[in-house]
Amino acid sequence: MSSQQQKGGLPRESQVAGGFGFVTVEDRQKWEQARQLQHRPESAAKAFVKGFMSGVTEYRSKLNDARLRAEQQQAVKEEHEATSAKTIRRTIKDAETVDIEQRDLRDQLDPGFEF
pLDDT tens by residue, 33-74:
888 888 778 889 989 999 999 999 999 999 999 999 999 999
Domain range summary for the chain, segments of one domain joined by +: 43-102
Give strand ranges (E) for the chain: 87-92, 96-101
Determine contact, residues 85/103, Cβ cutoff 8 Å: yes
φ/ψ bin of 93: left (φ > 0), alpha (ψ from -120 to 50), beta (otherwise) = left
pTM of the model: 0.38
DSSP bridge partners of 99: 89
User: How far apart, in whole angstroms, are the C-alpha atoms of residue 9 and residue 6?
Assistant: 7
